[in-house]
Amino acid sequence: MKILIVTPHFYPENFRINDFAMEFQKKGHEITVLTAIPDYPEGKFYDGYGLFKKNREIYNGIKIYRAPLITRGSGSNIRLALNYTSFVIGGIFTSLFMMKNEFNIIFVFAPSPITVSIPAIFIKKIKKIPLCIWVLDLWPESVVSAGNLAKSTFVPKILNPVVKFIYNHSDRILVSSKGFIDSVKSKGVSKDKIEYFPQWAEPIFKPIESSEYHLGNIPKDSFKIMFAGNIGESQDFSSILEAAKQLKGDRDIQWIILGKGRREEWVKTKIKKYGLEECFHLLGSFPIKKMPEFYANADAMLFSLKDEYIFSITIPAKVQSYLACGKPILAMVNGEGGKVVVDAKAGFSCAAESPHELVQNILKMKTMRGKDLSEMGENARKYYDDNFERSYLFDKAENSFRTMCESF
């Protein structure tokens, strides 16, 4: 098949769509990608890229077309709105230079915003080919939540027609969480058009014994809690820091944060204010290939999300990576994400925004160590293999694409 992938993020940015595209290329399919100039997460163009630089690229045999856009900048609401809108306009403009290419199907990777699908709809109408959208972030729910607009009726009133338009012009909608299904159906989409398609972890994520210690001066024999991912508003670092504050008298407990994000500077100020310099460590971002080595140095992996409805029906992408590496997990979330940890018997979960409960779970896990912790890790990997195994999911997507092409 000749597959066109439309995505706001692609290599050299680290997103799972990179793995998807490369694997389908290896399977013998011809892959073309329409994406943006890379600017995530720093909010500025990567070195070597720009409005008039490297707009066309070939990566591992994959043709890449990069659409011009306004960078995310500091990530303010206005700047993000400009970023999202400019990708739609830039994507449609760039697609005009792709019309001579032949495609059998369009696949949209839609982490956020869902409006990245609009250039794909434009291409679908002209090329008369099927369109499949993989929804990883619900709109307008996520916009309302991220913007603290829970009482606003204006935003949903504006965005709902846009979302309905996008869904109704797609031929299949894949959802990364079963909790998304009701929301998609409420937009007038028939259930037989919706398919559950969770995220996976790249092949490098597996249980390993670390060949070296990557955590610098952090004591090796301490109980090391590691968070990997975006340092943002949604991740509820207020509660994480409150838990660390409650435990700061126990120097045997160390917190390691891998990643960057909009709330990083705020977190740094709180570390100083709470006197957590000796136990709370921001190590920064690292290439994805380094992550399993870092995970191997941790005793437990942490994820958290704020107490918002949208997050209760979301499974963060990091969960699959944690499970795949066979690590015990501490979760502070409501709904789907915590259910995975409990069902897997891979760790402990507590309600969102409940630092005291997180503290209790940390202390409980810390006293376990040894065999019980190893068993949690083994349960994590088994649950991953049974529910999120990569090759099974890719075969499922491939069969789905073939069916769409044959029946269109």
Number of domains forming the structure of the chain: 2
20-40 confidence digits (pLDDT tens): 999 999 999 999 999 999 999
Instruction: Judge if 178 and 241 occupy the same domain.
Output: no
Q: Which helix (H) or strand (E) is 270 found in, with range?
A: helix 264-274
Instruction: Judge if 120 and 254 occupy the same domain.
Output: no
Instruction: Judge if 14 and 163 occupy the same domain.
Output: yes
Instruction: Judge if 121 and 34 occupy the same domain.
Output: yes
Instruction: Judge if 383 and 395 occupy the same domain.
Output: no
- In a domain, residue 218? The reply is no
CATH code of the domain containing 374: 3.40.50.2000
Instruction: Judge if 128 and 241 occupy the same domain.
Output: no
Length of the chain in terms of residues written: 408
Q: Is the predicted pLDDT of residue 253 greater than 90, yes or no?
A: yes
Q: How far is CA 366 from CA 76, 346, 350, in A?
A: 39, 14, 16
- In a domain, residue 379? The reply is yes
Contact at 8 Å (CB) between 252 and 223? yes
- In a domain, residue 230? The reply is yes
Instruction: Judge if 249 and 195 occupy the same domain.
Output: no
- In a domain, residue 212? The reply is no
Domain span at 8: 2-200+389-407
Instruction: Judge if 370 and 399 occupy the same domain.
Output: no
Q: Is the predicted pLDDT of residue 152 greater than 60, yes or no?
A: no
pTM: predicted TM-score of the whole model, two decimal places: 0.84
DSSP per position, 93-128: HHHTTSTTS--SEEEEEESS-GGGHHHHHHHHHHHT
pLDDT reported for residue 116: 96
For residues 306-312, give the mean pLDDT: 90
Instruction: Judge if 157 and 229 occupy the same domain.
Output: no
Instruction: Judge if 149 and 249 occupy the same domain.
Output: no
Q: Which helix (H) or strand (E) is 185 found in, with range?
A: helix 181-185
102-111 confidence digits (pLDDT tens): 999 999 999 9
- In a domain, residue 120? The reply is yes
Instruction: Judge if 189 and 272 occupy the same domain.
Output: no
